[in-house]
Copies of this chain bind each other. A is one copy, B any other.
């Protein structure tokens, strides 16, 4: 392989693109091995990490498979290569060289680190494949398989909603009927749907500052004005700031504030509910990660305290089960439910029948509770390993923010280096840690210089060497 590297583009991405092109054009064929990482790295004069990252990307996109002991092998794509090359050629005719460059240059780079402390993805083997396979099979052979040929109830499968209501009543104290539940394709989609019941020309949204940027993007895409309310320096400042905001809706993560990990105290909860009652406003409670509390019992939901029906409750299957399922749920209070039904009366659910009925069976048959228990144990061990490693290797050099819950911690170095610099240094040692700047709306003078260190996807065994690599990256050997 021979590559003319371009300066402005990540090296691993250029290697990956060259391989992708050659596989699609048939230069590499099914079953063929890619060059060993060590050899290619030395041929190209790049770091082994760089080649490894390129190979991982190829694996992730399904071009190449990786099996222990036999290296990286090109997959059989079952494509008619001749047809494909023809397609590319014909397409080229339809686009100028400039346009073609425009299209190709924008492939989103995916970061692949040896030690990836990201927040959001889960471990490779976290998904209960065998049970899911069996339940899919059951559903497709059951009397209700006709559901695969129909547009669904726009709120989603009734019995799935019923199961959710039971589960959330027991685990979160949520009080509602299945008729109030709406199954949605992920949290951003859920927010966009709910925001149809508000008017961006009149209503504004208050958000925790810092806060979940996925929610912020969803509000912005619905063209709502957002008022950030600082949560970082305690809940009384937050409540005072909310009171001045004039907002019609307040987005909060009271069980585990994202990203600070703080729990909203009871007094602030009651003040928040009172604010909503007095102002005829609503609270959007995102209970995204309530399962993972390692040192105490989970806090009940805000919805369970809500006697005036001002809370919209939201949850997701992404953090516990699978982010690839794209399934979440919203529970609407009675008044909003009426508006929602009127607004969406001609709409269909945007969540596949398949995932809904299989998930329902998964919960019905007790797999859900087992999975949550297992995930809690697994994450607790990882959490303890991470805290111990950070204290052992970085103890006196960093300040740690954590709350015995969730799937990440926050780390500050004491030397005033910027987030950008720290993330870049870590990346050079193939350690993925993440900036928290994106969670802030304003460039607040009090903004803390936190780095997010997540442990949802990293394997337990990789945590200690990952923290050691982080130490090398930030503070040298």
Contact = CB atoms under 8 A, between A and B. Distances in A.
Interface of A: 24, 59-62, 65-67, 75, 77-80, 83-84, 87-88, 90-91, 93-95, 99-100, 102-104, 106-108, 110, 120-127, 129-130, 132-133, 136-137, 140-141, 143-155, 157-159, 162-163, 165-166, 169-170, 175-177, 179-180, 185-186, 188-189, 192, 196, 200, 213-214, 217, 221, 223, 307, 309, 318, 322-327, 334-335, 337-338, 341, 345-355, 364-365, 438, 457
Nearest to A80: B166
A59 B146 CA distance: 10
A176 B136 contact: no
Task: For the complex of A and B, list the 6 residue pairs with the smallest distance between their C-beta atoms, beginning with the closest.
Answer: A324-B353, A127-B148, A124-B146, A94-B175, A122-B149, A129-B140
A179 B104 contact: yes
A447 to B, nearest CB: 19
Contact of A341 (B62, B108, B144, B351): B108
A392 to B, nearest CB: 29
Contact of A148 (B159, B324, B347): B324
Contacts of A146: 60, 124-125
A56 to B, nearest CB: 11
Contacts of A169: 87, 90-91
Contacts of A91: 165, 169, 175-177
A106 B121 CA distance: 38
Contact of A87 (B60, B122, B152, B166): B166
Contacts of A323: 149-151, 348
B107 A364 contact: no
Given A106-B179, A348-B323, A129 B148 contact: yes
A166 B83 contact: yes
Given A62-B158, A325-B353, 10 more contacts: A78-B365, A90-B175, A125-B146, A133-B140, A148-B322, A186-B348, A188-B348, A217-B346, A327-B352, A352-B352
**Which of A100, A106, A110, A196 has the largest count of B CB atoms less than 10 A from its CB?**
A106
B145 A347 contact: no
Given A84-B166, A221-B196, A348-B323, A79 B140 contact: no
A350 B186 contact: yes
8 contacts: A59-B143, A62-B158, A90-B169, A108-B154, A110-B153, A127-B145, A152-B324, A354-B354
A83 B318 CA distance: 26
Given A322-B149, A346-B217, A354-B355, A103 B143 contact: no
Contacts of A326: 185, 348-352
A66 B143 contact: yes
Contacts of A60: 146-147, 150
A122 B150 contact: yes
A438 B66 CA distance: 54
A341 to B, nearest CB: 5
Contacts of A347: 188, 214, 217
Contacts of A327: 352
Contacts of A438: 346
Contact of A103 (B102, B177, B196): B177
Contacts of A188: 347-348, 350
Contacts of A106: 179, 337-338, 341
B149 A127 contact: yes
Contacts of A192: 192
A417 to B, nearest CB: 24
Given A110-B153, A129-B148, A354-B355, A61 B346 contact: no
Nearest to A93: B175
Given A62-B159, A83-B166, A129 B145 contact: yes
B165 A87 contact: yes
Contact of A107 (B88, B110, B126, B179): B179
Contacts of A137: 133, 136-137
Contacts of A95: 175, 177, 309, 334
Nearest to A341: B106
A352 B325 contact: yes
A346 B136 contact: no
A365 B80 CA distance: 11
Contacts of A157: 62
Contacts of A75: 143
Nearest to A324: B353
